[in-house]
Structure 1
Amino acid sequence: MGDWKSKKEVVPFTAMAAVEFSIVGLHILYKSAILKGLTFFVFITYSYSFGTLLLLPHTLFFSRRLPSLKWSVLYKVFLLSLIGYVARVCSYKGLEYSSPALNSSVSTLGPAFTFILAVVFRMEFVDLERTPTQAKIIGTVVSVLGALVAVLYKGPTLVSSQPGPVVVAVPSHSLDLHKQFSNWALGGFLLAAECLLNSFASILQAHILKIYPAELMVAFMYCLGVTIITVPVSFMVKRELNDWTLRPDITLITVIYSTFLGPAFIISVHSYCLSSKGPLYTSIFKPFSIFIAAVASFILLGDGLHLGSVLGSTILLLGFYAVLWGKANEKKINDSECGNLGASSSGKKTALLQSHIDQNYVQ
């Protein structure tokens, strides 16, 4: 029994850690590939098309053992795919204007956005007299402030990959400085929009997995849905055959990497962890990606480490862990209250109440 409990904790942890490494690696490869001429529309089409083909054999092999599909599930998965597609547009376009380090910093807004959406959709109960609720609200506000600092204030370069002393470069024309700031801010806001869309997607995906508990099938339908959306759009934007030719350089490596460690892998792991641990668990690992992205961008891309990113990330992390602390303590209170109610009520009523509490926590 102890080994089984240990496995239930180790497997999701290892899988989510691998996902964060794969996401950072994908962003760094993509940032390098666009300098070689790879466009977003070509990349996302190849990425999701190949990812769908990668998941297809499993779907065909286990199709007889899967629950029967209903139209209510199909249209929700298509909505999930549409949200996912728009989120990817914001993600990679934001990445083009900013850096993988800023992307990882802004992504820690996830728990705050998820909490806000859960309150809006009445999946989260708010009791202002309770300390955990106060911590979640304060943490949400602090996270948003941290993201604004990282996006709106780039600041001087603290660490530079260039040899010699770090000197803050001042453009010769104020127009260049304005354009640089505008691109950085636009990239940051696109990344924040992606984070909000991902929070929507996590709540919707958790709901889908609750009514259709087949993680890999949901992952396959999601990738297929994004492929159906992106293929006509991409071919309308990129009509020249040369645009779709992958040269044997970083562009081909990026597409191959995204096939095996991109959307298909990420959505499969997220589906598994969402069904077993809930949306909050998947967001716990976001802070790890900040350090990974900063170091990898510095070494591989030559990006400097800016003061605004450091300050914003620090504020974000404080808010992030305040939300996590509030959520963890709220669950302890709910479990304690459920235990007290169970001692004074019948077994059937206790089971129903616990199911109701667990449902709110998973969502």
Structure 2
Amino acid sequence: MSKRYTPREMLEKLISFNTVSDRSNLDLITFVETYLAEYGVTSIRVPDETGTKAALHAHIGPSEDGGVVLSAHTDVVPVKGQAWSQDPFASWVSNGKLYGRGSADMKGFAATVLAKVPDFIAADLQRPIHIALSYDEEVGCFGAPPLVRDMLAKGPRPSFAIVGEPTNMKVVTAHKGIAVYKTTITGHPAHSSQLHRGVSAISAAAKLISWLDAQTADNKAKADPDNAFEPPYTTLHSGVIKGGEAHNITAQHCEFITDFRLLPGDSKEAWLEAYRTFIDSQVLPDMQAISGDCGIEVEELAYVPGLSEEADGLAETEARGLTGDNARHVVVYATEGGIFQEHGVSTVVCGPGSIDQAHQADEFIELVELDRCAAFLDRLIGRLS
């Protein structure tokens, strides 16, 4: 029989695995596989194409459709350049707070779920409890789609999902989506004293970024005052740009990265079409009139769908019943919740800790939050038994 962990002990164990997104998470996945197997629980590994990372899913209880999937990601954001007071992968406790990378985002939820496995097994579950652990959430939610597809294909199929991102155990019923694009511009070099003979890729980028900013301003002006999001509109933001070779040469190359933070139901395809239309009609013709070698390419780097509020959604009904939280909560950050919802699984976001601590130096979770999450899972066991 495997060691019986408390949520705190399990969290300390999970934090000890350095699963920054540019590293493998296989040591953590192997630990979880072994831990579950020692309790007689069979898990299924879903590797990525490189074989250096994997997701995992398992279920406890009857092998029939229904029940809940408890979902978490295993990767964490980097610590490089942050002023940590102690080793971020050797957790410590002070004043009722457990510190370490991933403590809040979101190994606290995963740890509490895993610590409760013996209780799941001991219960007379009438509907299954599914456990889902993904990879690469922090860099684009790349691990969740194949994980969800594999879960649903192999069954049993869960009726609803709880994604345990840090919400202080409040029930979040909607969040924005995110689409990330790289725009690559090829200009035509010329001496800057003969500007009329060249095409500056940087100047073209400036026109495109100005257009993107103008769309955000227009969205702001048209925003629904009753919209619960903050800000209550879709935003188009360019956060990285590089280009040019010298001050006296019209830049031949420039590229920049933009993220579209989309209101639920807002179409990334519609925004991309509008962007491409502006490029093709207002920017590219003038560039190619000087040189046919000029061009503009737009590449999608990542897309995470938003989570939409569900009318009489099962996940919301169940989560509100378990928490007693009947207030409306939406968030502007993206989660894997929209991916479950796109695959027909009713979903909410609800987990321990505060998003304010996520990605910060000396990230922490209050131990009382782990207790609250454990009590939530105890009530869930009762609901499914």
TM class by shorter chain equals under 0.3
| TM-score, L = length of structure 2 | 0.24
Structure with the higher helix share, 1 or 2: 1
Higher strand share: 2
Rg larger for: 2
With a CA cutoff of 8 Å and minimum separation of 6, indicate the structure with the bigger relative contact order: 1
The alignment's TM-score, normalised by the length of structure 1, stands at 0.25
